[in-house]
Each structure stands twice: as structure tokens, then as C-alpha cells.
Amino acid sequence: MLPLALLLPLLPLPLIVEPARASLIRIPLRRVYPGLKTLNSLRGWGKPTVPPSLGVPSSGDKPVFVPLSNYMNVQYYGEIGLGTPPQNFSVIFDTGSSNLWVPSIRCHFFSLPCWFHHRYNSKASSSFQPNGTKFAIQYGTGRLDGILSEDKLTIGGVKSASVIFGEALWEPSLVFTLAHFDGILGLGFPILAVGGVQPPLDLLVDQGLLDKPVFSFYLNRDPEAVDGGELVLGGSDPAHYIPPLTFLPVTVPAYWQIHMERVKVGTGLILCAQGCAAILDTGTSLITGPTEEIQALNAAIGGFSLLLGEYLIQCSEIPTLPPISFLLGGVWFNLTAQDYVIQIARGGVRLCLSGFQALDIPPPTGPLWILGDVFLGAHVAVFDRGNLTGGARVGLARASPLPAGPQGGGSAQAQFSGWRPG
């Protein structure tokens, strides 16, 4: 079991902005409105036994940008290619896992999700290299089985990256059938990678295609906007957020885990009063926390309990609901009701869902709060794996209220903080 690290006292860190020395690679997101249904988090909580090795050395000078798509304002995904010529797939860029997998054309006949998604065909790729090692990933909603293969990855215009990825042969879970994505590209730490496979981010750095192991998410929550946001590989785009960035050290380098000092509902209810662990997870739609605290939070905002720890909100009450604030690194990060209530309107029916869901994660991994897309949609997060002289950290800032930056996968100059702990 991976022991929880000691929680460190956190203070806001000064931001030192330097011009980027290379263009960043952007990947745009699409937006889909499927109707009155939601998908639960795919998260399966493993129990790593050995701490990961940090400090991937940077090489090369080509940071990368990836566009994301938005599913009902609670799922974001973007496009990659595998093989030569590239076979395109929509994937969730997931900070809570570390493997890349897509459905295979060789999948089991009774694996229903395969028939509703794009499937990788090794025979159609001139750059395919067989591996054949079996792999299995356990998610909260089911098991995924397949084999490992090697081929070229196309992402944000970069085409020369050689990656080992999973060809899914068996996807028994109904959630994969309903999903608007084909697969998952993990952006967690190497210790989470099933089969000891090197994660895609590490491969891009080692092969000289990224200057540094840094990436950032801008998730556009505006339902009227055409784009769903942007993943930036190799740095961040200051046009996406309102400075400064507040950096927090990663306390357990497996998931992107940080120390949260407190949660406040309006001017009254205090949760996480003695401090608690939190994970920033782009693969989780809502914000989750221990059942007792989430029950108290939803009671304070008038939520009605549903199944699976979810809550309904009266849509007419949204203008009167209190802000909910998270104390991170000595800075309050605020969510308004417009941020934390998910509003769904189809066929004249309007449904409002609380963005807070009860989820008890047992020790030693838990208890934990998961700050998913409801939190990350209101804030830009910069994920920095660190290097040999500095540890991993996460930078947070309020997202810019207006869509910013060039779209469509082109490159653009950007700035990134050069701070490293001494």
C-alpha cells in the first residue's frame, strides 16, 4: 500500500513569468449534448505499493496544445491519432490514470462498446510494432482487458512519437457503450501505469518532443460556446486564466494529490475543518467527497438526494444559492451556483444537478476529495511533474471569463512560470 505523505504547510508562492522558448501544442475540445442522462466517474482506485520516481529530465524544445470536447458540461475529450496513416480517436485526457488505450478491431464479438466506437486496426498501419503483452485495468464501473501494442502517436500536430498503448479487446461495462469517447489517455504519474508502461507524457519528453513535463487544462463551461476548451502540453497559456497562479506541492505523486486546508459553504458551514487530502482529476465529472460532508454540503444548498450519492437542486433556487469556497495554498478558490450546479435542458424539460457527489474512498488511499471538472471548469490547472531539482506541483488560477487563445490545433507562443523549489 502507498502510505499517505505528511501534509505540508502551504503558502502562496511567488510567480516568476518567463517567455516560452518554443511554441506550445494545443488540442481543442468538442461539445456534445446527449439529453437527460449522466455518466458516473470511470475512476477505479488502485493501491500503488511503491512511490513513483519523479524528475523526468527535459529534452527537446517543442511544447504541445490539445483541443478538448465537452459532454453535457461534465465530460471533456479530444482527438489523437494512432498509426501511419493516423487512425483518429476521441479520448479523455485523464489525470487520474497513466495508460493510453483505445478499442481494437480484434475486440470480442460480444464486447458491445467496440461496435459503437472507432477501433484501431494494426494491419492498416505501416508503423505498427507488435508487443502482445496482456493488460487489464479495473475502473469503478468495470474491467477492461486487452493487449499492448506499439505505434506512432499523432497529438496536436506532433506525429513522430512512438508509444506503447492498449488495444481493448473486452469492455464489459455499459458506461463505455454510452460514452462519447473511444478511449483514455492517462496523464497521471508512472506508478499508476498498468503493466509498467511508460506514460505518454514521459514518452513525449524522452523523445525530445516536449521541452518539459508540464501540461494545463482550460475547460470551457459556457454552453453557448463552440469550443469545449483546450489541453496545452509543455506549458500553459496565460490568456486562459486571471493571474497569478497559486502553486501547491503534490503530496503523494501518484494521482495529482494536494493538501486542501478547508471548504466553506457561504458564510456558515465549514468542511474539511482540520485539512484533508484532495485530488485534481480531469477524468471525474463532479466534485466528490466523504459521504457525511457531502450530505451536509448538499443540505446547505437545498439538494434532494438521488441514487449513487447524487443530488438534485431546484433550478429556481440557483440565484439564491451561496458560494462554495476551497482554501488551497492559503488562497480561496470560489465556485458560484452557476459553477457548481449542472443545468440540463432538453425538449422543454430543465433539470439541475448538484456538482457535489458522495464518494467514500477507503484507507490507505482515502479519505479524499476529488476536484473534478466542476472545479476545474472554473479554474485553470497547470500540472508540473517537476525535474531533478524540484518536485511535482500544481498551479491554480481563476479561468478567464472569455474564450482565449488560437484554436484548431495550431501553435502559439505562451508564458510559463519558471519557479522551482530550492
The CA distance from 136 to 141, in Å, is 14
339 is catalytic: no
The CA distance from 313 to 50, in Å, is 42
Which residue in the list 202, 227, 281, 339 is annotated as catalytic? 281
145 is catalytic: no
Tell me the one-letter amino acid at 402.
L
Which residue in the list 94, 182, 202, 384 is annotated as catalytic? 94
Return the closest-CA partner of residue 5 out of 289, 392, 359, 327.
392
The CA distance from 177 to 278, in Å, is 30
At residue 238, the 3 state secondary structure works out as: helix
Give residue 239's Cα distance to chain centre: 20
Contact between 412 and 22 under an 8 Å Cβ cutoff? The reply is: no
CA angle at 151 for the pair 146 and 156, rounded to the nearest 5°: 110
CA distances (Å), 300 to each of 87, 149, 165, 321, 356, in order? Answer: 48, 50, 45, 9, 12
Residues that are catalytic: 94, 281
